[in-house]
Amino acid sequence: MKDLPIAIVGAGTAGLASAILLARQGWPVTLYERVADLQPVGAGILLQPSGLAALRHIGLLDECTTLGAPVSRLFGTSACAQRVILDTRYAHWQADSFGLGIHRGVLMTALLSAARAAGVTIRTGIAISRFVQAPGHVRLLTDDGRGNESVLGEHSALILADGTRSQLRAQMQVRQTVKAYPWGALWSIVPTPEGADSTDLRQWYRGCSQMFGIMPTGVTHDQRQTKLSSLFWSLPVASHGAWQQAGLEAWKDSVRKLAGEPAEAFLQAIETPEQLMLASYADVRMQQWHDGRVLAIGDCAHAMSPQLGQGANMALVDAVALADALGACRQAQSADPAACFAAYGAVRGAHLRYYRQASRLLTPLFQSHSAWLAVLRDSALFVARHLPMGRQHAVTTLVGARTGWLLSGKGAAPLHAWRKLPVEPALEATSV
């Protein structure tokens, strides 16, 4: 694996974070991204202590915590705050821990400049259409959309970090399923109204069929004066057309009836329906993540619904685990990428399995038309709030620490990133 570059496809969270760590270990790394001009765009995301520990390992924790907004708890109520349904506090895990609401563009900007500084060769505007494995190398191909293919050269290994809708994953000789969720979410990022600053990620629910959320999202590199918040609204993907036809005022009325007065100032920032973007998601399952010299990571390997707020965190932990596995191979002077990738898979298995299962189970409890699932959810969350064991399970799930339904510490090898590197206290005052 020494001489040829490692190819990474996709300059998202997983691809950039892996590229940085591998380049710093001395591997030649070429990163291919289909988007020509990488812009700091995307939704607000919640980084968990697991992802923050990985960022600290990469050396970007300070930059991200300076710009992001600390989140001390997830707080959800029924319509107009009549009944508390969800109240999970980071302090119940570790006194000084927190989540970080951050604009995806901020994370991308930080990762991109670190990748450039680490010497990663970044080739944008190139969509990889196919790969061919041969003894000793992997060849990448791109086509011009008219059927003319060009070969991009030989690489010692290929990391697929091309997201949920990867066109390349299916070329791996690995059993896999991709199942789209029927529900998605409308999201927008707006300036935080005067006096509405909070460290709560706030949600309101009506049964499982309506959910409105507000998440503090911090500032961006370019606009450090303007504090931002992310708004989320659950919606069946198939109802998006009907939502557009009903008009913006009809939607605002629904939000007012659900969330009441606290939502009002945020709603004023939404003037056109185009400010609300529809995100759809899918569940990706693979029997294993590698096939010879090719490895899938991030959403390409294990996309899940964002209900648990784990996808970007998993992508960051993947990058740290991958760098550890390849670093160990380098030390052992192993020339067999498949063995290194198998070692990576063994380390990531339990952690990813738990979060995939949990997000699949949880999603219909927040996004469906079922009345009995709402009762089940509210009862389970009542236990999670009032019994120490339930509270512990909820908070260890939230922070990204679990590796099984019964375990939260044992077998936490994938989290060696944070066992070695505990998250430092950075949240001075919380509203808990």
Ligand X SMILES: Cc1cc2nc3c(=O)[nH]c(=O)nc-3n(C[C@H](O)[C@H](O)[C@H](O)COP(=O)(O)OP(=O)(O)OC[C@H]3O[C@@H](n4cnc5c(N)ncnc54)[C@H](O)[C@@H]3O)c2cc1C
Q: Which is nearer to ligand X, 44 or 364 (CB)?
A: 44
Under rule CB under 6 A, residue 279 binds ligand X: yes
Q: Which is nearer to ligand X, 182 or 260 (CB)?
A: 182
Asked whether 210 and 167 are in contact (CB, 8 A), the reply is no
Q: How far is the CB of 187 from ligand X (least distance, A)?
A: 5
Asked whether 373 and 364 are in contact (CB, 8 A), the reply is yes
Binding mask 130-149 for ligand X (x = CB under 6 A): --------------------
Of 6, 20, 32, 340, the residue at the interface with ligand X (CB under 6 A) is 32
Q: How far is the CB of 262 from ligand X (least distance, A)?
A: 20
Q: Could you please report the per-residue DSSP string of 130-181?
A: EEEEETTEEEEEEE-SSS-EEEEEEESEEEE---TT-SSGGGSSS-EEEEE-
Under rule CB under 6 A, residue 162 binds ligand X: yes
Of 15, 70, 216, 364, the residue at the interface with ligand X (CB under 6 A) is 15
Binding mask 320-339 for ligand X (x = CB under 6 A): --------------------
Q: CB atoms < 10 A from the CB of 267, how many?
A: 19
DSSP, res 265: H
Under rule CB under 6 A, residue 319 binds ligand X: no
Which of 320, 294, 311 has its CA nearest to residue 53?
320
Q: Is beta strand 157-160 parallel, antiparallel or unpaired with respect to 6-9?
A: parallel
Q: Which is nearer to ligand X, 151 or 328 (CB)?
A: 151
Cα–Cα distance between 283 and 302 in angstroms, integer? 7
Of 251, 281, 289, 344, the residue at the interface with ligand X (CB under 6 A) is 281
Phi, psi of 40 (to 5 degrees): -80, 75
- Kindly report the CA angle at 290 between 287 and 295, in degrees rounded to 5? 130
Owner of token pair 């952690």 = 351
Under rule CB under 6 A, residue 417 binds ligand X: no
Cα–Cα distance between 187 and 259 in angstroms, integer? 16
Pick the piece of the chain touching ligand X (CB under 6 A) from 18-26, 38-46, 90-98, 409-417.
38-46
Q: How far is the CB of 375 from ligand X (least distance, A)?
A: 26
Alpha-helical regions (H) of 235-282: 240-246, 248-259, 261-267
Q: How far is the CB of 145 from ligand X (least distance, A)?
A: 12
Under rule CB under 6 A, residue 127 binds ligand X: yes
Q: How far is the CB of 388 from ligand X (least distance, A)?
A: 27
Of 203, 310, 363, 403, the residue at the interface with ligand X (CB under 6 A) is 310
Residues paired with 47 in a beta bridge: 100
Under rule CB under 6 A, residue 200 binds ligand X: no
Residues paired with 7 in a beta bridge: 30, 158
Under rule CB under 6 A, residue 99 binds ligand X: no
Under rule CB under 6 A, residue 299 binds ligand X: yes
Q: Which is nearer to ligand X, 12 or 345 (CB)?
A: 12
Phi, psi of 145 (to 5 degrees): 85, -10
Pick the piece of the chain touching ligand X (CB under 6 A) from 6-14, 71-79, 333-341, 383-391.
6-14
Cα–Cα distance between 223 and 225 in angstroms, integer? 6
Handedness of CA 72, 267, 250, 235 (dihedral sign): negative
Under rule CB under 6 A, residue 34 binds ligand X: yes
Binding mask 44-83 for ligand X (x = CB under 6 A): -xx-------------------------------------
Which of 94, 33, 88 has its CA nearest to residue 424?
94
Q: Which residues have CB under 8 Å from 273's CB, separation 6+?
A: 244, 247, 248, 251
Under rule CB under 6 A, residue 187 binds ligand X: yes
Under rule CB under 6 A, residue 278 binds ligand X: no
Q: How far is the CB of 424 from ligand X (least distance, A)?
A: 20
Radius of gyration of the chain (CA): 21
Pick the piece of the chain touching ligand X (CB under 6 A) from 29-37, 55-63, 74-82, 415-423.
29-37
Of 1, 6, 7, 14, the residue at the interface with ligand X (CB under 6 A) is 14
Q: Which is nearer to ligand X, 307 or 408 (CB)?
A: 307
What interhelical angle do 371-386 and 388-399 show, nearest 10? Answer: 100
- The residues of the shown chain that bind ligand X, judged by CB under 6 A, are 9-15, 32-35, 43, 45-46, 127-128, 161-163, 167, 185, 187, 279, 281, 298-300, 306, 309-313, 315
